[in-house]
Amino acid sequence: MPAIVIVGVQWGDEGKGKVVDYLSRSADFVVRYQGGNNAGHTVVFDGKTFAMHLVPSGVFLPKVRNVIGNGVVVDPKALRGEVEMLEGRGIRVRGRLHVSLSAHVILPYHIVLDGLREESGHGIGTTRRGIGPCYEDKVARVGIRVADYLDPGAFKALVDQNLRLRACDLERVKPKALIREEVFAEYEPLRGFLKPFCCDVAILLEKALKAGERVLLESAQGAMLDVDFGTYPFVTSSNPVAGGACSGSGIGPTSIGGVVGVTKAYTTRVGLGPFPTEIEGRTARYLRQVGKEYGATTGRPRRIGWLDLVQLKAALRVNGVSNLAMMKLDALANVHPIKVATAYKVKGRLTREFPVSRADQLDAEPVYESYPGFSGDLGAARSFSDLPKAARDYVLAVERGLGVPIPIVSLGRSREQTVLRGKGLPWP
């Protein structure tokens, strides 16, 4: 059975968790392949609300095994906090969570360095979880992998080496010796917690795929935050795009059978950087309020904008999206008219392609098409035909504009508030 990848096709926070939850009902494995505890989503399960950052969304379905792939950066302290929170609230995690021995470990000095960079005047509005500095170490070939962390001698030598390498910056905040003490005092005892979860994930997933099991790979963040294809340098430090699912999990491309892109019915972004269709004022405030658009990790108010077909086309291309899920259509109710960007004017010239240069991305002035708004409680709809005509027309117009089917439309938080069209999504 081929694996399926679920990717965010905007700037993250598209509502991937709900789509993963839907597909996980027929999955055997759910795999996170990049990012770290910078990600955040809220899951409502059995009437209880869970704030999730690292553990894959499949954890709420008892038969699903959950994997943190090599492409993820893992803060063992954050992971323990999340596992304890879940187990304390009745969700069994042990035996159902597997962490790659090749994943890199976030340590307190990465968090210090992230904060320093943000306060240097060159910040991009990160989540300050140490994500960027940990990936920097990985690419600089000085990172500490889970396998190194589990070996006390190797861990000690690598921490000492890295504190020396980063001393200049770190000493601006606290003495190196104090940071060293904190690392060992906090992270040595966490080794025993992490060890039982760790394995060679590539072998685990190879066996699963050979046995015909269903593997779902979930991205964190979104395509526009991808370090290669996003609005660089206002991006995260990994590859949320579908290609990252292979390099971040150990599955080969020939095992991937489909890519499901997830978009909101409008656009949001947290942190700094270009956002061509951003709006301010009454409509933005309204959508922020009804869409509860506040960062799940940092609580920051999300920036709000219209749906952007130029941006989405670029994201669909680099992800090879085969199906699209549109989330939060219900939040657009009572917005009249609804605008959608179909082109940009960049330096006075019309273009339908998302520009690469940061100056052009900042300069891009959207050209909009307007659609009539709709009203009513969309969350009560149980089929696409239950929706007001203007809402259906909006979905169909986006589908036409993008040339990719939208078989799933979400109308609220609960599982029931989802309507399927045509053949639905792959699997179920």
Catalytic residues, by residue number, are: 13, 41
Residue 133 binds ligand IMP (CB under 6 A): no
Taking CB under 6 A as the binding criterion, the range among 99-107, 125-133, 279-287, 331-339 that sits at the site for ligand IMP is: 125-133
- Whether omega before 301 lies within 30 degrees of 0, making that bond cis, reads no
- Please give the structure tokens belonging to residue 414: 């609960």
Minimum CB–partner distance for residue 61 and ligand IMP (Å)? 22
Instruction: Give the DSSP letter of residue 254.
Output: G
Enclosing H/E stretch for 338: strand 338-346
**Nearest residue (CB) to ligand IMP, 187 versus 234:** 234
**Is residue 225 close enough to count as binding ligand IMP by CB under 6 A?**
yes
Query: Contact with ligand IMP (CB under 6 A): which of 57, 70, 221, 239?
Result: 221
The correct pick among 91, 170, 179, 220 for binding ligand IMP (CB under 6 A) is 220
Reported for 165-174, long-range contacts at CB under 8 A and 24+ positions apart, including other chains, are 166/109, 166/113, 169/113, 169/116, 170/109, 170/112, 170/113, 172/116, 173/112, 173/115, 173/116, 174/112
Cα-based angle 176, 177, 183 (whole degrees, multiple of 5): 90
Select the residue interacting with ligand IMP from 66, 100, 127, 231 (CB under 6 A).
127
Residues 344-363, mask of contacts with ligand IMP (x by CB under 6 A): --------------------
291 binds ligand IMP (CB under 6 A): no
Does 58 bind ligand IMP (CB under 6 A)? Our answer is no
Tokens of 425: 């999504």
User: Residue 98: what residue type?
Assistant: H
E strand or H helix that includes residue 146: helix 146-149
User: Which of 125, 257, 376, 426: binder of ligand IMP (CB under 6 A)?
Assistant: 125
Specify the stretch interacting with ligand IMP by CB under 6 A; choose among 126-134, 357-365, 403-411, 417-425.
126-134
Q: What is the largest CA-CA distance in the chain?
A: 66
Is residue 12 a contact point for ligand IMP (CB under 6 A)?
A: yes
3-state SS, residue 303 = strand
Residue 270 touches ligand IMP, criterion: CB under 6 A: yes
Smallest distance, Å, CB 175 to ligand IMP?
26
Output the residue with the shortest Cβ distance to ligand IMP.
271
Dihedral (CA of 325, 202, 66, 426) sign = positive
Tell me the C-alpha distance between 419 and 60, whole Å.
22
Task: Evaluate whether 421 touches 292 at the Cβ level (below 8 Å).
Answer: no
Between CA 186 and CA 76 the distance in angstroms is 10
Q: Out of 5, 6, 7, 13, name the contact with ligand IMP by CB under 6 A.
A: 13
CB of 234 to ligand IMP, least distance (A): 6
Which one among 5, 21, 27, 40 touches ligand IMP, defined by CB under 6 A? 40
Q: Which C-beta is closer to ligand IMP: that of 28 or that of 293?
A: 293
Angle between helices 176-187 and 76-88 (to 10 degrees): 30
User: Could you tell me where the DSSP H helices lie in 251-339?
Assistant: 282-290, 309-319
Taking the complex as a whole, the smallest distance from the CB of residue 314 to ligand IMP amounts, in Å, to: 17
Among 271, 355, 366, 412, binds ligand IMP (CB under 6 A): 271
Of 236 and 322, nearer to ligand IMP (C-beta) is: 236
- Tell me: does residue 230 bind ligand IMP (CB under 6 A): no
Name the site residues for ligand IMP (rule: CB under 6 A): 12-13, 38-40, 124-127, 129, 131-132, 220-221, 225, 234, 236-237, 270-271
